[in-house]
């Protein structure tokens, strides 16, 4: 059974969006994954199809109602659904490649996209939503965040990426940022490709790549280093 995404949103036309193209789009057509959208507004109960209301305690903006969102979730993910229920949220745990890999190995995901000031806290608790953040900045809605999450998952699914190795040698996969890349021409504006990469010596190339990855990580993302395996033996000399 392939990965199944259900996205709860007020803007279903945003899906599959960018994920209908390129590798993800071909995977979608080939059945490597599937996506359904659920219009939260369909679960409104009044004539005006209202989904939000003013925040208790006052203040700016509007809040997505717990009862309406709960009905939408129960419709998309009835009892017995094994898929995790995620809420895109800047308050969530920052998304990591490790969590993406876990999700890609599972049956799919139910993804709730917030809007306005966010969603009523009680539905987060009552439906056991896992809050997921894609970074420390504020989007206007959860939809772009859901697209980011799904893009990261889908490229790991079997049959989506041609070259399987490029899935495991990326930045973060081994706890380091990736080494720099080069391709033809050999000389670009007086800048040659590093000699080692054209040497044909695979051991030296592997060592150079590890060393540059380590240096780049030390310089740009020292916070990643405690988790990197083998960081004490740069270059494996
Ligand atoms: N008032 C909220 C922000 C609401 S932004 C706060 O200060 O925390 C509106 C919606 O956009 C959120 O409900 C969430 O679904 C989505 N969103 C915004 N930023 C996000 C981020 N960094 N990661 C994931 N989702 C985000």
Q: What is the pLDDT of residues 58-72, one digit of tens each?
A: 999 999 999 999 999
Q: How many CB atoms lie within 10 A of CB 68?
A: 24
Does residue 234 register a pLDDT over 50? no
- 3: pLDDT confidence band, cut at 50, 70 and 90? very high
Task: Provide mean pLDDT across the span 44-67.
Answer: 98
Distance CA 154, CA 82 (A): 18
Q: What is the CB-side half-sphere exposure of residue 86 using CA atoms within 13 A?
A: 29
CATH of 3-154, one of 3.40.1280.10, 3.40.50.300, 3.40.50.150, 3.40.50.2300: 3.40.1280.10
Interaxial angle between packed helices 142-154 and 22-30, expressed in degrees from 0 to 180 and rounded to the nearest 10: 70
At residue 203, the 3 state secondary structure works out as helix
Contact predicate 92/142, CB 8 Å: no
- pLDDT, average across residues 167-179: 86
Please state, for a pLDDT cut of 70, what percent of the chain lies above it. Answer: 93
Widest Cα–Cα separation across the chain: 72
- Rounded to whole angstroms, the Cα distance separating 111 from 95 reads 14
Our answer on whether the CB atom of 133 is closer than 6 Å to any ligand 1 atom is yes
pLDDT score, position 164? 63
Beta carbon of 138 within 6 Å of any ligand 1 atom: yes
Q: How far apart are CA 151 and CA 99, in angstroms?
A: 13
Determine the residue of 89, 93, 135 to mutate for testing ligand 1's pocket, defined as the one with the most ligand atoms within 8 A of the Cβ atom: 89
Domains 3-154 and 171-227 share a fold: no
Confidence of residue 116 (pLDDT cuts 50, 70, 90): very high
pLDDT tens digit sequence for 121-146: 999 999 999 999 999 999 999 999 99
pLDDT at 232 over 60: no
Pairing between strand 63-64 and 52-53?
antiparallel
Residue ranges covered by each domain of the chain: 3-154, 171-227
- For 171-227, CATH gives 1.10.1270.20
How confident is the prediction for the chain on average, in pLDDT? Answer: 94
182 is in an annotated binding site: no
What span, in angstroms and rounded, lies between the C-alpha atoms of 177 and 170?
Answer: 8
φ, ψ of residue 85 to 5 degrees: the values are -105, 115
pLDDT at position 229: 67
Q: Band of the pLDDT at 169, cuts 50, 70, 90?
A: confident
Residue 230 has pLDDT above 70, yes or no: no
Helix (H/G/I), strand (E/B), else coil: 42? helix
- Measured from the Cα of 112, ligand 1's closest atom is 15
Cβ proximity of 110 and 130 under 8 Å: no
> Does the beta carbon of 143 sit less than 6 angstroms from any atom of ligand 1?
no
118 touches ligand 1 (CB under 6 Å) = yes
Our answer on whether the CB atom of 141 is closer than 6 Å to any ligand 1 atom is yes
25: enclosing H helix or E strand = helix 22-30
Predicted TM-score (pTM) of the model is: 0.94
Q: Is the confidence at residue 231, as pLDDT, over 70?
A: no
Mean pLDDT of 22-27: 98
Q: What is the pLDDT of residues 180-214, one digit of tens each?
A: 999 999 999 999 999 999 999 999 999 999 999 99
């Amino acid at each position: 059974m392939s990965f199944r995404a259900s996205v709860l949103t007020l803007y279903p036309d945003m899906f599959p969006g960018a994920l209908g193209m390129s590798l993800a789009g071909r995977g979608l057509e080939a059945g490597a994954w599937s996506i359904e959208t659920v219009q939260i507004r369909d679960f409104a109960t009044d004539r005006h199809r209202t989904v939000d209301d003013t925040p208790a305690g006052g203040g700016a903006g509007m809040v997505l109602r717990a009862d309406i969102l709960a009905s939408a979730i129960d419709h998309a993910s009835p009892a017995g659904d094994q898929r995790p229920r995620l809420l895109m949220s800047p308050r969530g745990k920052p998304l990591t490649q490790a969590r993406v890999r876990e999700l890609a190995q599972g049956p799919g995901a139910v993804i709730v996209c917030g809007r306005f000031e966010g969603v009523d806290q009680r539905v987060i608790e009552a439906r056991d939503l896992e809050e997921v953040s894609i970074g420390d900045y504020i989007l206007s809605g959860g939809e772009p965040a859901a697209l980011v999450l799904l893009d990261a998952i889908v490229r790991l699914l079997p049959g989506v990426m041609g070259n399987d190795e490029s899935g495991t040698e990326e930045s973060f996969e081994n706890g380091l940022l990736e080494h720099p890349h080069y391709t033809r021409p050999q000389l670009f504006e007086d800048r040659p490709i590093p000699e080692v990469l054209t040497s044909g010596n695979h051991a030296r190339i592997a060592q150079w790549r590890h060393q540059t990855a380590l240096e780049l990580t030390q310089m740009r993302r020292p916070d990643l280093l405690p988790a990197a395996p083998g960081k004490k033996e740069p270059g494996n000399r």
